[in-house]
Amino acid sequence: MVAIAKNDELKRVIDEEGNVVKGARPPDIADEELRKIYRTLVQVRVVDERMMRLQRQGRLGFYMQSTGEEATHLAVAALRPSDWVFPSYREPGAAFYRGYELEQFIAQLYGNAADPIKGRQMPVHHSMNWINYVSISSPVGTQIPQATGMAMAAKIQGKDDVAIVYFGEGATSTGEFHVGANFAGVFKAPVIFLCRNNGWAISTSADRQTAAKTFASKAVGYGMPGIRVDGNDVLALYQATADAAERARAGDGPTFIEALTYRVHGHSSSDDPSVYRDPDEPKRWQQADPLARFQRYLGKKKLWTPEWEEALRTEFDQAITVAHDKVANLPPPDVETLFDDVFEELPSHLREQKEWLMAQPRTKSPHYFH
């Protein structure tokens, strides 16, 4: 099943050729902001290509690409920096847009001394409290009730911050999706549920996750609006997110957005989609590529030129090289840090275990590359 539906119920602003679709009005976004959104889309594409190459070269243990789904990351462009993002593992563009530095991003992939999370999690499990980007978890759907809770807290404290929570269509099968959406509906929590329906949960196609006609229809059961958006149309996503945020801030509660998109590559660097899906399927995606589409739109508005494209790609290529050179060969975190942050303070049993470990001869990681 290819989740690139084209039926009319999908909200769209621009078509594949970059023309504004009949009856739609592009959201009111300043030119510089439009260019920033495009820059970030390109950044994700270039970063993904380079990181995947590093993974295939054996330098990175693991990586996850976003190719085809980048537009969904830019939903955050419709929010305020003070709004919170509860990501799943495939939204690096949301972080780049908010200023996550390449050096930190790459250091996290290496889990080394410059990693903001001190080598505590495997690659792509970022955490950046300085941009309100909450720690990524591997189990699917766990962030959903947490996002609802954060939104409830904002409401309790009389603040107008909202939460956006990202998850794939597979996550809608979890209990946590249900409880998170249900709590949000009951408490009218200011949270935006952004479901990236990319057609695949590893090898399981979207039609094995639900017997409902659409994922958006699930919203009905939680007493919130559910809308379907062309997930490869960054302007449609922007508009849907802006509308949802406005509702949330007005005290009208949560919104469910199903963004139809497509996972072009495998689930992760460990996956091999040729085992379970038609190898021609991703080719059909080419015409829906969210970058190409937005590029054409910007071209028509004279906000994009081939020269700018080349300059952008060169800029990111060089920035990646510089950042990589700076952090890739850093040592692992100090061994003492193994015991930090279990609790705020080190209890005596951990102090003893730490002293014991420090007295042992150091062992070399078979997985740490220099």
Partner 1 sequence: MPTMNIIQAVNDALRLEMRRDPRVVILGEDVAKFGGVFRATSGLVDEFGPDRVMDTPLAEAGIIGAAIGMALYGLRPVPEIQFADFIFPAFDQIVNELAKFRYRSGGQYPAPVVIRTPYGGGIRGGHYHSQSPEALFIHTPGLKVVVPSDPYEAKGLLLSCIRQNDPVLFLEPKRIYRASKGEVPEGDYTIPLGKARVVREGTQVTVIAWGSMLHTALEGVDKAAELGISCEVIDLRTLMPFDVETMVESVKKTGRAVIVQEAPRTCGFAAELSATISERAMAWLEAPVERLCGFDTPFPYTLEHEYMPNGDRVLSTIQKTLDW
Nearest residue (CB) to partner 1, 186 versus 322: 186
Minimal CA–CA distance to 4: which of 197, 145, 204, 268?
A: 197
Nearest residue (CB) to partner 1, 20 versus 113: 113
Minimal CA–CA distance to 123: which of 195, 68, 51, 56?
A: 51
- Give the binding site for partner 1 (CB under 8 A): 84, 86, 115-118, 120-121, 125, 127-129, 134-135, 137, 139, 142, 144-157, 163, 175-176, 178-180, 182-183, 186-187, 340-344, 347-350
Q: For this structure, is 263 an active site residue?
A: yes
Q: How far is the CB of 52 from partner 1 (least distance, A)?
A: 24
Tokens representing 329 are 């060969």
**Residues contacting 130, CB < 8 A, separation 6+:** none
Q: Which residue in the list 267, 293, 297, 324 is annotated as catalytic?
A: 267
Rounded CA separation 202/213 (Å): 21
> What are the distances in angstroms from CA 59 to CA 83, 174, 267?
35, 34, 19
> What are the distances in angstroms from CA 172 to CA 110, 164, 193, 228, 305?
31, 15, 10, 15, 40
Q: How far is the CB of 113 from partner 1 (least distance, A)?
A: 12
Phi-psi region of 15 (alpha: psi -120 to 50; beta: other; left: phi over 0): beta
Nearest residue (CB) to partner 1, 6 versus 221: 221
Q: Which residue in the list 12, 45, 73, 263 is annotated as catalytic?
A: 263
What end-to-end distance do the CA atoms of the chain give, in Å? Answer: 42
Nearest residue (CB) to partner 1, 65 versus 142: 142
Q: For this structure, is 222 an active site residue?
A: no
Q: How far is the CB of 353 from partner 1 (least distance, A)?
A: 11
Q: How far is the CB of 120 from partner 1 (least distance, A)?
A: 5
Q: For this structure, is 90 an active site residue?
A: no
Nearest residue (CB) to partner 1, 191 versus 244: 191
DSSP strand pairing (191-197 vs 163-168): parallel
Cα-flanking dihedrals φ and ψ of residue 213, to 5°?
Answer: -70, -40
Q: How far is the CB of 241 from partner 1 (least distance, A)?
A: 19
The catalytic residues are: 263, 267, 276
